Each structure stands twice: as C-alpha cells, then as structure tokens.
Amino acid sequence: MNSSSNKKNDQLISDLNDILGESSVVIDKSEREFYSADVYSKDKVCSAVVRPKNKEFLIKAIPIVSKSGYSIIVRGGGMSYTKGYVPTKEDTIIFDLSLLNKIIEVNEADMYITVEAGVTWKEIYEKLKPTGLRLPFFGTFSGVRATVGGGLSQGALFMGTARYGQAADIVLSMEVLLPDGTLIKTGQSGFKNSKPFYRTYGPDLNGIFIHDGGSLGVKTQATFRLITAPKQTDYLTFVFPDVNSACSSLSLVAKSGAAEEAYVFDPISTKKNLSTLNIKEDLKTLAKVTTNQSSIKKGIIDASNLILSGKKFINKDMFSLHVVCAGRRINSVKDDINLIRDICIKNKGNEIPNSIPKAVRSNPFKPLNGVIGSKGDRWVALNAKVPHSQSQKIIDEADKILERYKDEMERIGVSVSRLFIAIGTHAFSYEPVFHWYDSWLPIHKRIPEKSYITKIKEPKENVDAALLVEKLRREMVELFASLGASSNQIGKTYLYSEMLNPNTLSLLKSIKNYLDPNAQLNPGVIGLN
C-alpha cells in the first residue's frame, strides 16, 4: 500500500473500532491470513476481519465499509473450496458472522424456525431434537461449523437431500442487508402484519439471494420450514462390481423417493473415509449407535457389528451404495428398504453390513478432522449436477480426462476419488475429489482436533502436484459447462456467468447493479465483477 492507501485503511479501521470496539476488529496478520484463505487456495490478504457481536453492529458497520470504497466479503464457517470468500484485492474487509448465532424463534404451532445467519446446522439440529421436530434437509458433513448463511449462499446439501433436496428447497424467508444499510425481507416476512410462514406470495424474492455467494446482499437471518422428525430409521449398503451398476441403482433409488439419503462411494472414497478410524473413534460411534436404538441390547449388537464389519471395507475393490430410509412407522420404512433392496439386487448389487450410513447418521456432525487426510494429504472437490439421463455421460467424459492424465498423476502423486449423490428425485451429483501431498493452508492447522493433527506431519510444498490439480479442475469445470451441468459452491471456480443465456445474464447484472451499485460485495464471485 502507498501512503494515501495506508491513511485510508487506518481511518477505516479507526471508524470500525469506534463503532464495534477494538475486540471486534481484527488486524493481526496471521488472523487475516487465516480468514482470507479457504480449504483449497489463498490469494490476497484482507485489510481487516470484522466480527460483529450482533446484527445491530453489523448494520452499522457495513455502510461504513461501503462508503470507504473497500470490498466486502462475508464469511460463515469457512468450509468452502472454490475461492468463494478469498479476496482478490487487499482493500477488502471480511465480515465473520459466526457470532450472529441466535436461534430467534422455534414455532412449533406453525412449523418453522427462524435463526441468525451464523447459526450452524448442528446447533439447529440439537435445538430441535427435544421438540421432536427437524429440518427436512438438516445439514452438511461440515455442519458442526458450516452456517446457515454460508449454506444458503453456497448451496448446502447432504443430510435428507435424497428426499428433501437442499437448504435452498426448505427456506421460507430471509433478511438481507445491502451495502447502504438497507434491510430487505423476502417471503411472507416482507409483508406487513405477517409471520414468515410462507415463501411465494407473488414473485419469489428468496431466489435472488440463494446461491449468490454473498454477491447480492449480506444474509442476516433466515426462516426454514420444519417436519416431524421420523421415529423409525433403517439403513442399507450394497456393493457393486462397477460404477455403472452402482450409479444406475443410485438413480433408480432416487427416483423411487424411498430414501432420505442415497450416495455412492468409489473404492478410493471408501478407503479414505475409513482410514482415520481408530479404537477411540469406534468407541464413540458405539456409544452413539447404542443410544440411538430403541432397544439397548439391539443397539449394542448393531454397534458391535458396525465396528467389526466396517473395517473390512478398506481392502475391498468396490463401489458401495449407502442408503438411509426413515418414516413414521416401522412397516413403511421396511417397505422402502425392501423396494431399494429389490432395485439393487436387480442391478448386480450384493448386500453387506450397513456400517457406513449407520455411522454417519449416529453422529451426523463430527469434528472436522477430515479437512486434512490421515497421512497429511490435502484434497479439493468439484461437483456437477445433471439429470439422471446424463449420469453415465458425465462419468464417461470425466473418466476420459482422468485417463489422459493418468501417467502424470501417478508420477507426481495426484489421485482422485469420486462421490455420487442423489438430490431429490430429479438430480444426480457427480463429485470428483483430488488428493495430493502439499504444504498446508491455515485452515488445515486450526480446524482439526489437536489429538488428530498433532500426529500428522505437514508435507513439503509440492508445486508440480498443485499445478496439476488446478489443471485437472479447470478441465473438469469446462466439461461440466459443456454438458449444461449445475454446480453448488460456485465461488470463483465454475463458469456460471460465462454460460448464462445473454438475456438472463443481462437481468442478473441489472439486479446486481441495483442492489450493489458499486460492485463491492464479493467481487468476482459467480462471475460478477
């Protein structure tokens, strides 16, 4: 920074300190570096991190930064890996909204919950559990840290997704702050004398701010619809000899509507997901499975089988389909289980112990040790959503890319695993995950439990592997665009604006210009500069 820039920066920091207090304005370099990098990459380091203690402070601070001309980036749990909150210039203030963590209302009579944007999926799950209610989609793998605001901005999915879709599908209303301090309310909350119980009275204004990466407004709170938590749950795992039969079965299971979750691990995914298991973790899972069973005796037997059978997966070369079925009555769940069992058997499936889906559901919000591999390796994922009829094509075309780079990947030490997920009855998600050894980013050192990370040695910087991973990602992203695929966590990675119909893009830019006329909200995300 030159002297005039330094003065401008100092004045802005001083103004923020006056409003928020020095404890809420972070200028320490190591902290700014942590907040400026995601799970995959880093670029510029922000000038300061603002951690408002409540919504009122946020409403005061945003216009101050806006008037300064600095860029504004909002950060939730920080678990994304598509440069969604990575600054592209130093004149940026990152707002960490994790302290906006109030659960404002649980309305059991009208079946909705209103929360601030910094509330995590785990906090909602635990708050609702005693009431017998639940979100339909109820969280991500990273839900112990991932927030509601981040999930709506990026496209949160997984728990309950095969039946209920994503976070975007269950939100009823939002409150959004614009750079000038204006508060926008969507859904029924945008009307006088009304509760936030309904989404679409007139145009659906929620949609403008969903999956926007924080580029159109700052989410301060959201309301979600609730369901009665299913009283009965059962699980299935089938193995298949090849990816075609496994993914064909996944699509059929999705279209049947019989599952709450349905996903396929390839052989490498299975090994990596089980590689961090140890006796201590097994005992924790044992306790969870036992307490989740209506019969203590049955719980102990099931939990023991889970531990004994789960370890056997590591040495098997297989594609495994994991399913969760849930409902009000055991007979209805059994019907769903039998339907899915028939689907899988007809597609060359072989049923094995249901250890993985049972373990995932027994403790859905585990500590985030998985941000780094058990041997210190790093990873980064991509995702592409396609219709079921295109699932085989995207797998085949992606395989061609991987085959073309196979020798180079083996020589440099880059591997790939794949996860396939059912989203409702209508969408198939292809998710390649690249793994390589490289020096760590700040998040890799801070997020895992100390008992886990202290046992792992950080690898040396590996420029060749990092360049190859980025090259593979770019070719995959181009493939996804050529197939008309959709992607979550758009960030600054996917070809969103580039592939929009010109008229649609023009409309989007007009909306952006109205809401954020100086283009200060997360510049570059979703292709809007």
Query: pLDDT (tens digit, 9 = 90+) per residue, 306-329?
Result: 555 545 544 468 899 999 999 999
Confidence of residue 8 (pLDDT cuts 50, 70, 90): confident
Higher-pLDDT residue of 275 and 267 is: 267
Q: Report the 3 state secondary structure along 251-310.
A: HHHHHHCCCCEEEEECHHHHHHHHCCCCHHHHHHHHHHHHHCCCCHHHHHHHHHHHHHHH
Closest CA to 449 of 366, 380, 365: 366
- The whole model's pTM is what? 0.93
Cβ-proximal residues to 450 (8 Å cutoff; 6+ apart), any chain: none
Instruction: Give the lowest-confidence range in 207-216, 249-258, 357-366, 404-413.
Output: 357-366
pLDDT for the residue numbered 316: 65
* Tens of pLDDT, residues 146-184: 999 999 999 999 999 999 999 999 999 999 999 999 999
Q: Span 355-364, mean pLDDT?
A: 93
In this structure, which long-range contacts are made by residues 337-342, counting pairs with CB atoms below 8 Å and at least 24 apart in sequence?
Answer: 337/234, 337/236, 337/258, 339/256, 339/258, 340/236, 340/253, 340/256, 340/258, 340/259, 341/236
| Structural domains of the chain in order of their starting residue, each with its CATH number | 3-99 (3.30.43.10), 103-228 (3.30.465.10), 230-366 (3.30.70.3450), 375-488 (3.30.300)
Sign of CA dihedral 303, 309, 311, 313: negative
Cβ-proximal residues to 525 (8 Å cutoff; 6+ apart), any chain: 83, 84, 212, 213, 214, 215, 490, 491, 492
User: Is pLDDT above 60 for 133?
Assistant: yes
Confidence of residue 28 (pLDDT cuts 50, 70, 90): very high
Instruction: Give the lowest-confidence range in 61-65, 210-214, 299-303.
Output: 299-303
